[in-house]
């Protein structure tokens, strides 16, 4: 037997399960091996029998009827019971496609809606106007205007734009614009802010978003009222200064701050300096001793706090005090050339007695001289004729000099200017806005005044550009209404008063030129808290809105706007306590090009309350050296109610012979504080008596109001120190809608590839082909690495052929759609759910992707990370498709598989072509079509430089407009007048301070008492004893009171010191050692009868008495003089004692004589 | 149904056209209703039944059940030798098929039968863990073989097999080890090819070949002894 028997393969041979080679081998063996052939036959028989046996045994075996029924019912039950989910699951392919269809329908609707949204509105423009300075804790305002910046349409206000304002990154305002596009931003400046900060204004509307940042300063603004005891000092005297500092916004005292006080001489050299802390009433005081060597001149006292500086001029001179006061008065306050001047001279001693029997000489250029003697009342009448020749048209002053020599030989000279005008009524015409505004009705103020400046009640005959007017002036003022048409207006005015005096003038008024005209009209110039400020703006042009800014203490306090109706806009502003002081009202319109047409008015708002100061003393007249009991009462008067109030008083008691000036009205300081520097400076222009404007009775006040309107007309407007314009890029509803749509599309397009890949993997995994398909895909990708340069070259080529690219792209899209459509139909016909779903998803992906590409081309595409996500998911989708294709190829469906793979490659070709299509260019197509992305892993490594999507940055052009600091930012508050004013100090001294540093037995101070900060108690009372000095004179007490609330009040009171008999010494200016010095002793006798008086000088150190005792009779009410001759023996100071001994009364005094 | 009855009751009519019409109508009825009898009459393929089931016609599953219930029962009965066990196995098998059929790939390389028998065997073997004695029906099979008629000239295909040999052979098969028995059953009862047997049992084709060889050797031994 052959060794290689095949018996173990015979069964397979019989069953036909051997392959050809084995079969041949077995047959070959069987041919020559009978044993195996026999075994085969045996097996064949067995196999046949087994077949038959199984057939016979099992054919009858069937499931029993009972079991069949049971199983069938179980199956039916199972098939029917979970019907709904079963049905759903059964129809999952259908549902997936329905979902995709729904997705498409939804996006179609969404797209339809988004693209039907109105066209993007023009981009918005934001204007911010205001001041760059804010005071902490105050109410501030800002003007924010939002409008469309479309030049062709004209600027249309944007209503409802959101406005947010941040100050030092704190949100202080949020609101929306009104119909005029303006937001009246009002906010309280945080109290704890100070220094430089950023003001941020953010606006947002359909037209875009703006953000404007401007540096501002948060700082308190102050007003400093600087006063001294006197206006003139001699070297060696002590200067008392008092600074009252109030907040410029709320007029409350500024406390705790340090004020720098300096004194500079005539050459500007700083002589003294101190820093004083402000008290609870905002008062700082400073005393400076002027050196004996101080050179004469005009010195400057300066107080500064922050950037607020207040100055006051002081005269330093070796003056001699006058012996008596001479007053000149004329019958008329003005004259015309050739008139007869009738006048009087009155002379009185400072203690009140008339200067009788004095020789008077009245002189005037060129040759006028009248002389005579005063009568017992110190009175002298004079008269003379003015020269006939007129020097010219303008008014001139004719100076009359008067010299009075009393019986004691004391000389006092005064000069008296007489206004001499070419005509007896002077006429002035002022348009209310400074210049005429064309096209609207202007008010022209006509002022008629006598040459002395007093208002003339006249009847006017006026012709303006040939058109007659007639009017009557009240308080010398009339208001005419005129609408200018020409460049200039000739105003011909004839004014005639009741007594026939006449004036005539022709005034040429200029018309203001500007792009448009705006005239702001205020009813009055002065208001009180509680009033309503009514304003009308008249304008030409077609501006729809007039804006009104209310600027208070350099800070915008309110921003109003009003619509223009029939060329007119009206405003009403209720004045409250926060607006006390000067208000600048600035009305403006904004032209389409952003330029402003402006007009402004100045008004003053007065506090309703008054601080009254009442001064009283125990007697009317005192003897020298006596003590006066002075009582002061401060009370606040509001609407007729009087209540005592605690106040700080600056009290000065000064010799009236020093005070050779008119009494300042009590309201002077108030007016100084309430008016702003511009208003203060312009008060002379229309003879505005500022204190009277605020204080006087109603009718005077009304006159002053007109004067104030005229005075402040055309005052230069404060510039907007904060002004900015910015234009935003437009973000309208349509754009937002498109962006949102693009965002949703991005989401869907990122998710679809994931769904596709899940289905692909699930489909391939059970069939066991996933691994092989993946392997094939990997090889393919690896191959693609080496094809990367080809892809790049292809893309470059495509970019050159942009015209062809469009056609190619259209072709590719068509081809892909056809393939997908075929796959869809194929899937349906073949009942292949998987293919249906994948084809459907691909179709949806293509359609939505196309929509996103279109949106992206309009600039609404995804950016940044979304872009990267889209590119990544697209790659994922291509990979999934290629995988599916290869899977099918592996599973034997070769045609379908390769078509699917080709589809994946076609998709990549399509996106590579997209950037070359001009109409579709966007970041999205550039990123998708970046060849580096598809060049495989290698290119990925090189191409980390790849899709750097250029993020579209919204450019906000912030136009730098004029941003000016307010006039040098250093407001210089000049001292109101070089006149002595009551003042204050930090220390309260219950006892009077005898200020003059002269250690005299008899004391002759010029300033008797100085209390810079004397406080009244809660009842508003202050009582103090005032030891009077030895001077026989009238002391003037001035008191300036201020409260913690910032109310101001002032009062003056005269204290007379007198005795019936006394002597005074007049020491000449020129003193030399060793030379006889004649000192005149003036003897005043007001005793009822004549007195025999002996005047003698007592010998003393430093001098030798040369004259003998002088004895003479001095009649009653007479003044006599006796010379005393001494010889100074050495340089230095000696004290000369002189006695005047009479029978009834005697007097003795000592004076210090300085020998240089 | 009367039309169907007519068509079936006249096999000799040979009217191909009429049969084609009947089949077309039956297929149409099946497509609409999923009726199992229409499926049979219309000669609807198993693949189409499965596809329709997967597409949402649950009734086609009953047609599928009707088509395969006896084959499945025979496999189960052969393995368990117990009627009740086999019936339960059939029920469980079809419930399994019902669950798994949705994921069955009609276009896959495996025949449905292969897959079905694998599921059946898995189910049956799970039941076999509970030992149960052969039921009376199993013994009936052998008795039935013994009653087979003697060879006659009229039935040449059964000429070699008399009742005695059949029952002897059946007895021998019954004595085979379980794994050889299964291979033999799949080979002779279900007529599967080697590769199909390998797929059903989850073994290699070579193993099928060797098991079959061993089974035949064993059978020859048993017969020679017997």
- The Cα–Cα gap between A58 and A51 comes to 11
- Chain B residues with CB under 8 Å of A88 CB are none
Cβ–Cβ below 8 Å for A63 and B69: yes
Measured in whole angstroms, the distance separating CA A60 from the mean position of its chain's CA atoms is 108
Of residues A76 and A607, the one with the higher pLDDT is A76
Identify which of A384, A347, A379 has the alpha carbon closest to the alpha carbon of residue A369: A384
Residue A1150 in tokens = 């000592």
Q: Smallest CA–CA separation between B15 and chain A, in Å?
A: 30
- The Cα–Cα gap between A255 and A277 comes to 8
| Range ranked top by mean pLDDT from A78-82, A273-277, A978-982 | A273-277
Going by pLDDT thresholds of 50, 70 and 90, the confidence category of residue B129 is confident
- pLDDT at A663 exceeding the cut of 70: no
State mean pLDDT over A155-170: 84
Q: Smallest CA–CA separation between B222 and chain A, in Å?
A: 12
Q: Which A positions 67-126 lie with beta carbon below 8 A of chain B?
A: 67-68, 70-72, 74-76, 78-80, 86-87, 89-91, 93-94
pLDDT score at B2? 36
Choose among A63, A75, A833: nearest Cβ to B70: A63
pLDDT score at A687? 56
CB atoms within 10 A of CB A891: 21
- pLDDT at A999 exceeding the cut of 50: no
Q: Which A positions 821-840 lie with beta carbon below 8 A of chain B?
A: 831-833
- pLDDT at A84 exceeding the cut of 50: yes
State mean pLDDT over A1122-1149: 84
Whether the CB-CB separation of A1112 and A1122 falls below 8 Å is answered with: yes
Whether the CB-CB separation of A548 and A585 falls below 8 Å is answered with: yes
Q: Write down the residue that tokens 């008269």 correspond to.
A: A383
pLDDT score at A262? 92
Lowest mean pLDDT among A132-141, A729-738, B204-213: A729-738
Q: Smallest CA–CA separation between B18 and chain A, in Å?
A: 28
- pLDDT at A427 exceeding the cut of 50: yes
Half-sphere exposure of A319 (CA within 13 A, CB side): 18
Cα angle for residues A392, A395, A400 (degrees, 5° grid): 105
- The Cα–Cα gap between A878 and A928 comes to 12
Cα angle for residues A151, A156, A162 (degrees, 5° grid): 120
Residue A514 in tokens = 């500007």
- pLDDT at A1009 exceeding the cut of 60: yes
Q: Write down the residue that tokens 């997209």 correspond to.
A: A914
pLDDT score at B226? 57
Cβ–Cβ below 8 Å for A51 and B107: no
Whether the CB-CB separation of A683 and A1058 falls below 8 Å is answered with: no
- Chain A residues with CB under 8 Å of B65 CB are 71-72, 75
**Whether the complex's predicted ipTM surpasses the cut of 0.90:** no
pLDDT score at A713? 65
State mean pLDDT over B47-65: 82
Q: pLDDT tens for residues A436-445?
A: 877 778 888 7
Cβ–Cβ below 8 Å for B161 and A61: no
pLDDT score at A960? 35
Lowest mean pLDDT among A388-392, A572-576, A741-745: A388-392
| Range ranked top by mean pLDDT from A395-404, A822-831, B210-219 | B210-219
Specify which residues A148 forms β-bridges with.
A124
> Helix, strand, coil % (nearest 5) of chain A?
30, 40, 35
- Chain A residues with CB under 8 Å of B142 CB are 57
Cβ–Cβ below 8 Å for B169 and A50: yes
- The Cα–Cα gap between B36 and B20 comes to 18
- pLDDT at A1091 exceeding the cut of 60: yes
- pLDDT at A509 exceeding the cut of 60: yes
- pLDDT at A997 exceeding the cut of 50: no
pLDDT score at B59? 78
- The Cα–Cα gap between A795 and A280 comes to 83
Half-sphere exposure of B188 (CA within 13 A, CB side): 28
Of residues A761 and A631, the one with the higher pLDDT is A631
Identify which of A14, A208, A50, A377 has the alpha carbon closest to the alpha carbon of residue A726: A208
Of residues A649 and A665, the one with the higher pLDDT is A649
* Residue spans of alpha helices (H) in A801-916: 802-830, 833-857, 864-891, 894-913
Of residues A1128 and A1108, the one with the higher pLDDT is A1128
* Residue spans of alpha helices (H) in B129-204: 136-146, 163-175, 178-184, 194-201
Whether the CB-CB separation of A953 and A207 falls below 8 Å is answered with: no
Cβ–Cβ below 8 Å for B169 and A56: no
Q: pLDDT tens for residues A524-540?
A: 778 888 788 888 887 77
Whether the CB-CB separation of A946 and A788 falls below 8 Å is answered with: no
Cβ–Cβ below 8 Å for A43 and B216: yes
Q: Are strands A124-130 and A722-727 parallel, antiparallel or unpaired?
A: antiparallel
Identify which of A392, A416, A243 has the alpha carbon closest to the alpha carbon of residue A326: A416
pLDDT score at A939? 46
pLDDT score at B211? 92
State mean pLDDT over A713-730: 63
- pLDDT at A1132 exceeding the cut of 70: yes
Going by pLDDT thresholds of 50, 70 and 90, the confidence category of residue A758 is confident
Cβ–Cβ below 8 Å for B91 and A70: yes
Going by pLDDT thresholds of 50, 70 and 90, the confidence category of residue A223 is confident
Whether the CB-CB separation of A675 and A669 falls below 8 Å is answered with: no
Cβ–Cβ below 8 Å for B94 and A62: no
Identify which of A559, A550, A547, A647 has the alpha carbon closest to the alpha carbon of residue A597: A547
Choose among B95, B165, B187: nearest Cβ to A49: B165
Residue A300, classed as helix, strand or coil, is strand
Look up residue B69 and give its DSSP letter: H
Phi/psi of residue A981, each to 5°?
-135, 155
pLDDT score at A1087? 85
Cβ–Cβ below 8 Å for A46 and B98: no
Q: What residue of B is the nearest CA neighbor of A66?
A: B87
Of residues A231 and A453, the one with the higher pLDDT is A231
Going by pLDDT thresholds of 50, 70 and 90, the confidence category of residue A491 is confident
- The Cα–Cα gap between A48 and A716 comes to 130
Residue A107 in tokens = 């996006």
Look up residue B158 and give its DSSP letter: G
Going by pLDDT thresholds of 50, 70 and 90, the confidence category of residue B150 is low
Measured in whole angstroms, the distance separating CA A855 from the mean position of its chain's CA atoms is 43
Lowest mean pLDDT among A97-106, A801-810, A884-893, B134-143: A801-810
| Range ranked top by mean pLDDT from A312-326, A633-647, A673-687, B77-91 | B77-91
A374-380: list long-range contacts, CB under 8 Å, 24+ apart: A374/A345, A374/A347, A374/A404, A376/A1117, A377/A346, A378/A346, A378/A347, A378/A348, A378/A354, A379/A344, A379/A345, A379/A346, A379/A354, A380/A344, A380/A345, A380/A346, A380/A347
Q: pLDDT tens for residues B167-191?
A: 888 888 888 898 898 899 999 888 8
State mean pLDDT over A617-633: 87
Q: pLDDT tens for residues A21-54?
A: 989 999 889 888 888 888 888 888 888 888 888 8
Whether the CB-CB separation of A147 and A155 falls below 8 Å is answered with: yes
Percent of chain A with pLDDT over 90: 2
pLDDT score at A976? 35
pLDDT score at A795? 63
Choose among B51, B77, B145: nearest Cβ to A53: B145
- Chain A residues with CB under 8 Å of B185 CB are 54
H/E element holding A208? strand A208-218
Round the average pLDDT of chain A to a whole number and report it.
Answer: 78
Q: Are strands A182-188 and A139-148 parallel, antiparallel or unpaired?
A: antiparallel
Residue B117, classed as helix, strand or coil, is helix
Q: Which A positions 714-773 lie with beta carbon below 8 A of chain B?
A: 766-767
- The Cα–Cα gap between A287 and A1013 comes to 13
Q: pLDDT tens for residues A280-307?
A: 888 998 988 888 888 888 888 899 888 7
- The Cα–Cα gap between A897 and A406 comes to 137
Residue to substitute from B169, B174, B204, B221, interface A, most A β-carbons within 10 A? B169
Phi/psi of residue A955, each to 5°?
-90, 125
Residue A766 in tokens = 């059970």
pLDDT score at A89? 64
Choose among B189, B213, B223: nearest Cβ to A58: B189
- pLDDT at A121 exceeding the cut of 80: no
DSSP characters over A903-914: HHHHHHHHHHHG
Going by pLDDT thresholds of 50, 70 and 90, the confidence category of residue A792 is low
pLDDT score at B90? 92
Q: Write down the residue that tokens 């004014």 correspond to.
A: A495
Residue A853 in tokens = 């590409």
Lowest mean pLDDT among A56-65, A668-677, B4-13, B15-24: B4-13
Choose among A51, A67, A766: nearest Cβ to B188: A51
Whether the CB-CB separation of A1037 and A1057 falls below 8 Å is answered with: no
Identify which of A758, A582, A607, A774 has the alpha carbon closest to the alpha carbon of residue A678: A582
- The Cα–Cα gap between A624 and A1035 comes to 11
pLDDT score at B208? 92
pLDDT score at A507? 82
Going by pLDDT thresholds of 50, 70 and 90, the confidence category of residue A1139 is confident
Residue to substitute from B35, B63, B69, interface A, most A β-carbons within 10 A? B69
Q: Smallest CA–CA separation between B17 and chain A, in Å?
A: 27
Q: pLDDT tens for residues A1010-1045?
A: 888 888 888 889 998 888 888 888 888 888 888 888
Q: Write down the residue that tokens 């979902």 correspond to.
A: A99
Going by pLDDT thresholds of 50, 70 and 90, the confidence category of residue B47 is confident
Cβ–Cβ below 8 Å for A767 and B62: no
Listed in sequence order, the residues at least 6 apart from B74 whose beta carbon sits closer than 8 Å to its beta carbon are: A58, A61, B189
- pLDDT at A203 exceeding the cut of 60: yes
Q: Smallest CA–CA separation between B10 and chain A, in Å?
A: 25
Q: Model's pTM, two decimal places?
A: 0.54
Query: How far is the first Cα of chain A from the last one, in angstroms, to the nearest whole number?
Result: 171
Q: Does A895 touch chain B (CB under 8 A)?
A: no
Specify which residues A60 forms β-bridges with.
none
Q: pLDDT tens for residues A915-973?
A: 777 778 788 888 887 766 665 544 444 443 333 333 333 333 333 333 333 333 333 33
- pLDDT at A275 exceeding the cut of 80: yes
Cβ–Cβ below 8 Å for B91 and A71: yes
A-B contacts (CB, under 8 Å): 148
């Amino acid at each position: 037997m052959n060794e290689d028997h095949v018996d173990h393969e015979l069964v397979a041979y019989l069953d036909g399960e051997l392959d050809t080679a084995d079969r041949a081998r077995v047959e070959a063996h069987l041919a020559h091996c009978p044993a195996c052939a026999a075994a085969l036959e045996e097996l064949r028989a067995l196999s046949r029998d087994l077949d038959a046996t199984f057939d016979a045994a099992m054919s009858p075996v069937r499931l029993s009827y009972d079991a069949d029924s049971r199983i069938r019912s179980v199956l039916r039950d199972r098939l029917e019971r979970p019907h709904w989910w079963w049905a759903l699951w059964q129809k999952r392919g259908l549902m997936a496609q329905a979902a995709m269809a729904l997705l498409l329908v939804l996006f179609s609707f969404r797209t339809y809606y988004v693209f039907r949204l109105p066209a993007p509105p023009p981009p918005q423009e934001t204007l911010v106007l205001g001041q760059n300075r804010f005071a902490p804790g105050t109410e501030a305002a800002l003007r924010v205007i939002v409008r469309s910046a479309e030049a062709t349409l004209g600027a249309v206000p944007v209503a409802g734009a959101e406005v947010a304002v941040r100050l030092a990154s704190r949100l202080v305002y949020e609101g929306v614009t009104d119909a005029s596009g303006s937001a009246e931003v009002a906010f309280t400046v945080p109290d704890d802010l100070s220094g430089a900060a950023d003001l941020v204004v953010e606006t947002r509307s359909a037209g875009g978003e703006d953000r404007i940042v401007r540096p501002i300063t948060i700082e308190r603004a102050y007003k400093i009222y600087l006063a001294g005891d006197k206006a003139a000092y001699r070297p060696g005297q002590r200067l008392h200064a008092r600074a009252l500092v109030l907040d410029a916004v709320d007029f409350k005292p500024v406390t705790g701050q340090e004020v720098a006080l300096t004194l500079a001489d005539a050459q500007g050299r700083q002589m003294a300096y101190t820093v004083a802390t402000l008290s609870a009433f905002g008062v700082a005081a400073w005393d400076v001793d002027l050196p004996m060597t101080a050179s004469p001149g005009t010195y400057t006292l300066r107080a500064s706090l922050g950037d607020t500086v207040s100055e006051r001029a002081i005269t330093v001179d070796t003056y001699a005090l006058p012996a008596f006061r001479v007053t000149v008065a004329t019958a008329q306050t003005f004259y015309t050339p050739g008139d007869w001047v009738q006048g009087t001279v009155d002379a009185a001693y400072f203690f009140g007695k008339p200067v009788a029997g004095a020789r008077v000489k009245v002189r005037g250029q060129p040759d006028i001289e009248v002389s005579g003697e005063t009568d017992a009342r110190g009175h002298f009448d004079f008269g003379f004729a003015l020269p006939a020749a007129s020097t010219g048209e303008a008014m001139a002053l004719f100076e009359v000099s008067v010299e009075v020599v009393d019986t004691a030989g004391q000389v006092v000279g005064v000069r008296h200017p007489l206004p001499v005008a070419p005509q007896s009524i002077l006429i002035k015409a002022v348009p209310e806005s400074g210049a005429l505004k064309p096209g609207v009705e202007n008010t022209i103020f006509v002022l008629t005044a006598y040459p002395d400046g007093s208002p003339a009640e006249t009847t006017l005959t006026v012709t303006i550009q040939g058109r007659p007017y007639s009017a009557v002036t009240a308080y010398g003022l009339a208001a005419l209404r005129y609408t200018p048409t020409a460049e200039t207006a000739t105003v011909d005015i004839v004014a005639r008063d009741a007594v026939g005096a006449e004036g005539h003038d022709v005034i040429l008024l200029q018309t203001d030129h500007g792009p448009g005209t705006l005239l702001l009209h205020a009813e009055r110039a002065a208001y009180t808290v509680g009033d309503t400020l009514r304003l009308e703006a008249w304008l030409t042009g077609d501006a729809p809105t007039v804006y009104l800014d209310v600027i208070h203490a350099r800070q915008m306090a309110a921003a109003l706007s009003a619509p223009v109706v029939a060329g007119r806009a009206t405003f009403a502003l209720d004045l409250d306590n926060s607006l006390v002081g000067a208000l600048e009202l600035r009305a403006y319109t904004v032209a389409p090009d952003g330029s402003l047409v402006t007009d402004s008015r100045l008004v003053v708002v007065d506090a309703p309350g008054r601080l009254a100061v009442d001064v009283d003393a125990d007697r009317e007249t005192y003897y020298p050296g006596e003590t006066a009991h002075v009582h002061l009462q401060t009370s606040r008067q509001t609407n007729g109610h009087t209540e005592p109030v605690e106040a700080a008083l600056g009290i000065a008691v000064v010799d009236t012979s020093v005070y050779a000036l008119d009494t300042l009205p009590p309201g002077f300081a108030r007016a100084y504080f309430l008016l702003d520097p511009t208003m203060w400076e312009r008060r002379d222009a229309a003879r505005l008596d500022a204190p009277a404007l605020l204080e006087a009775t109603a009718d005077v006040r009304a006159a002053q109001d007109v004067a104030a309107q005229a005075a402040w007309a055309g005052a230069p407007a404060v510039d907007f120190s904060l002004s900015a314009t910015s234009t935003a890029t437009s973000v309208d509803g349509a754009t937002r809608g498109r962006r949102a749509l693009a965002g949703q599309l991005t989401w869907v397009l990122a998710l679809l590839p994931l769904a596709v890949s899940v289905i692909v993997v699930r489909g391939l995994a059970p069939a066991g082909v996933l691994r092989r398909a993946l392997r094939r895909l990997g090889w393919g990708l690896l191959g693609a690495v080496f094809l990367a340069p080809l892809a790049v070259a292809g893309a470059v080529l495509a970019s050159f052929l942009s015209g062809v690219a469009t056609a190619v792209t259209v072709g590719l899209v068509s081809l892909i759609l056809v393939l997908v459509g075929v796959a869809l139909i194929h899937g349906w016909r073949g009942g292949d759910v998987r293919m249906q779903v994948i084809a459907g998803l691909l179709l949806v992906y293509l359609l939505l992707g196309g929509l996103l590409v279109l949106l992206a081309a309009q600039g609404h595409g995804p950016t940044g990370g979304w872009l990267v996500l889209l590119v990544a998911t697209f790659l994922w989708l291509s990979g999934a498709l290629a995988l599916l294709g290869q899977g099918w190829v592996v599973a034997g469906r070769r045609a379908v598989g390769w078509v699917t793979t080709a589809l994946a490659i076609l998709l990549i070709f399509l996106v590579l072509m997209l950037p070359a299509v001009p109409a579709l260019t966007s970041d999205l197509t550039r990123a998708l079509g970046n060849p580096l992305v598809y060049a495989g892993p290698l290119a990925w490594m090189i191409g980390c430089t790849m899709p750097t999507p250029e993020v579209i940055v919204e450019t906000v052009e912030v136009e730098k407009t004029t941003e000016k600091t307010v006039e040098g930012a250093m407001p210089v508050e000049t001292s109101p007048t070089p006149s002595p004013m009551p003042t204050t100090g930090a220390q309260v001294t219950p006892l009077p301070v005898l200020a003059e540093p002269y250690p005299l037995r008899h004391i002759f101070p010029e300033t008797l008492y100085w209390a810079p900060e004397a406080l009244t108690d809660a009842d508003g009372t202050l009582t103090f004893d005032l030891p009077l000095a030895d001077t026989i004179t009238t002391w003037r007490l001035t008191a300036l009171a201020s409260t913690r609330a910032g109310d101001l009040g002032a009062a003056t009171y005269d204290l007379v010191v007198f005795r019936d008999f006394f002597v005074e010494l007049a020491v000449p200016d020129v003193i030399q050692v060793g030379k006889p010095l004649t000192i005149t002793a003036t003897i005043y006798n007001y005793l009822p009868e004549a007195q025999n008086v002996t005047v003698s000088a007592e010998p003393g150190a430093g001098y030798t008495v040369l004259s003998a005792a002088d004895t003479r009779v001095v009649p009653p009410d007479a003044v006599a003089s006796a010379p005393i001759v001494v010889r100074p023996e050495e340089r230095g100071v000696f004290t000369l004692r002189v006695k005047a001994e009479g029978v009834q009364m005697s007097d003795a005094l000592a004076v210090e004589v300085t020998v240089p | 149904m009367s039309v169907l009855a007519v068509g079936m009751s006249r096999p000799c009519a040979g009217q191909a056209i009429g049969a084609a019409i009947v089949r077309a109508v039956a297929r149409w009825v099946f497509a609409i209703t999923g009726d199992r009898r229409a499926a049979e009459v219309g000669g609807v393929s198993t693949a189409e039944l499965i596809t329709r089931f997967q597409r949402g016609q649950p009734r086609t599953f009953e047609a599928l059940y009707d088509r395969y219930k006896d084959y499945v029962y025979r496999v189960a009965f052969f393995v368990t030798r117990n009627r009740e066990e086999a019936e339960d196995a059939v029920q469980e098998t079809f419930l399994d098929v019902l669950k798994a059929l949705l994921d069955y790939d009609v276009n896959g390389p495996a025949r449905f039968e292969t897959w079905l028998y694998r599921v059946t065997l898995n189910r049956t073997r799970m039941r076999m863990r509970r030992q149960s004695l052969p039921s009376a029906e199993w013994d009936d099979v052998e008795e039935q073989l013994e009653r087979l008629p003697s060879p006659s000239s009229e039935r040449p295909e059964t000429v070699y097999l008399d009742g005695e040999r059949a029952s002897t052979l059946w007895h021998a098969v019954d004595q085979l080890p379980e794994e050889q028995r299964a291979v033999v059953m799949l080979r002779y009862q279900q007529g599967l090819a080697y590769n199909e047997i390998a797929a059903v049992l989850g073994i290699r084709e070579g193993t099928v070949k060797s098991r079959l060889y061993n089974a035949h050797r064993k059978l020859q031994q048993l017969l020679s002894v017997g």
